[in-house]
Amino acid sequence: MLVRFWGVRGSTPTPQSENLRYGGNTSCVEVRMNGHIYVFDCGTGFRNLGKQLCQETNGHAVTAHIFLSHFHWDHIQGIPFFSPLYSDRGSRFYFHSSSRTRGLQRAIEAQMSDPYFPVNMNEMAAHRQFFDIEEGTVPFDHCSIQAKWLNHPQGCLGFRIESEGKVLVYATDNEPGDPVFDKAVRKLAEGADILIYDAQYLPEEYAATKHGWGHSHWREAVNVVMESGAKELILFHHDPDHTDECIDNIVVKAREYYPKVRAASEGMEILL
């Protein structure tokens, strides 16, 4: 299982010099297993993933399963700019997410409709299918992917990917404090090799003004990894106002409580 980070920022892209080391693109994580491609969220990092896939395949067909945690802008912004979707060479993309708020296909297409974008989704020549999922497990031949609801305005799904005894958990956009969701995210992360978890705020930022905004902080991320028995924590969904230096300091503080902590950065790869 190879994990690649294409976008690690939360809320909005931040193409600023003080953010370049960790990166300014919004959420997108690629997972490859036995030659199969799975993508978790389609923020602006999704654009660069598309460029890489076109380069790798030299214009030939691409097939991928794409899981959307939810439909907020920073998790879908890259879809109109993902070049393999415009290919007519037999590429196939399978989108998976909840239709709890509106139809999955409609939610994805809406951001490309008039007056928000000059090209609509009909210009995309690649084959697209849309699958509504809720809590539960989606079985594939070479892995299984479990979805569980997180605590976020309008809803958000976390995902647990299991293959050949290895477990990766992607749980972004989750706010602590609700006993039901707190228990659910720890169950989702139980015994995982890698936990990718929302750490958008500093604890003091969250306490002062961010209650109800649907995000967590690094101290809660440490609590989740320790209480779930997960092996390594990857801090994710960095706040737009958190510079490289700020994130460095967060990692130092988090390691005082749990040694196996890293902050996600664009281009980072993890092999399980």
pLDDT at 101: 60
pLDDT at 38: 98
pLDDT tier at 2, thresholds 50, 70, 90? very high
DSSP run (H or E) holding 54: helix 45-57
Helix, strand, coil percent content, the chain, rounded in steps of 5: 30, 30, 45
- Yes or no: say if 251 and 257 are a contact pair by the CB < 8 Å rule: no
Its pTM stands at: 0.97
Residue 47 has pLDDT above 70, yes or no: yes
Residue 99 has pLDDT above 80, yes or no: no
Q: Where would I find the H helices in 67-217?
A: 104-110, 179-188, 203-209
Angle, helices 218-228/179-188, rounded to nearest 10 degrees: 60
Delimit the domains of the chain by residue range: 2-271
pLDDT tier at 108, thresholds 50, 70, 90? confident
DSSP-based three-state secondary structure for 57 = helix
Fold that domain 2-271 belongs to in CATH: Metallo-beta-lactamase; Chain A (3.60.15)
- Yes or no: say if 159 and 136 are a contact pair by the CB < 8 Å rule: no
pLDDT at 87: 85
Residue 82 has pLDDT above 70, yes or no: yes
Residue 224 has pLDDT above 90, yes or no: yes
Which residue in 255, 73, 96 sits closest to 170, CA to CA?
96
In whole angstroms, give the CA distance from residue 151 to residue 158: 10
In whole angstroms, give the CA distance from residue 91 to residue 63: 6
Mean pLDDT, rounded, for 146-151: 97
Mean pLDDT, rounded, for 189-209: 98
Which strands sit side by side in the sheet containing 261-263, from one edge to the other?
136-139, 144-150, 156-163, 166-171, 194-198, 232-236, 261-263
pLDDT at 102: 65
- Yes or no: say if 210 and 241 are a contact pair by the CB < 8 Å rule: no
| pLDDT tens digits, one per residue of 17-43 | 999 999 999 999 999 998 999 999 999
Structure tokens at 229: 């028995």
Residue 106 has pLDDT above 90, yes or no: no
Residue 217 has pLDDT above 90, yes or no: yes
Tell me which DSSP letter residue 141 carries: S
Mean pLDDT, rounded, for 228-244: 98
Residue 238 has pLDDT above 90, yes or no: yes
Q: What is the share, in percent, of the chain residues with pLDDT greater than 70?
A: 99
pLDDT tier at 78, thresholds 50, 70, 90? very high
Residue 8 has pLDDT above 90, yes or no: yes
Mean pLDDT, rounded, for 88-92: 88
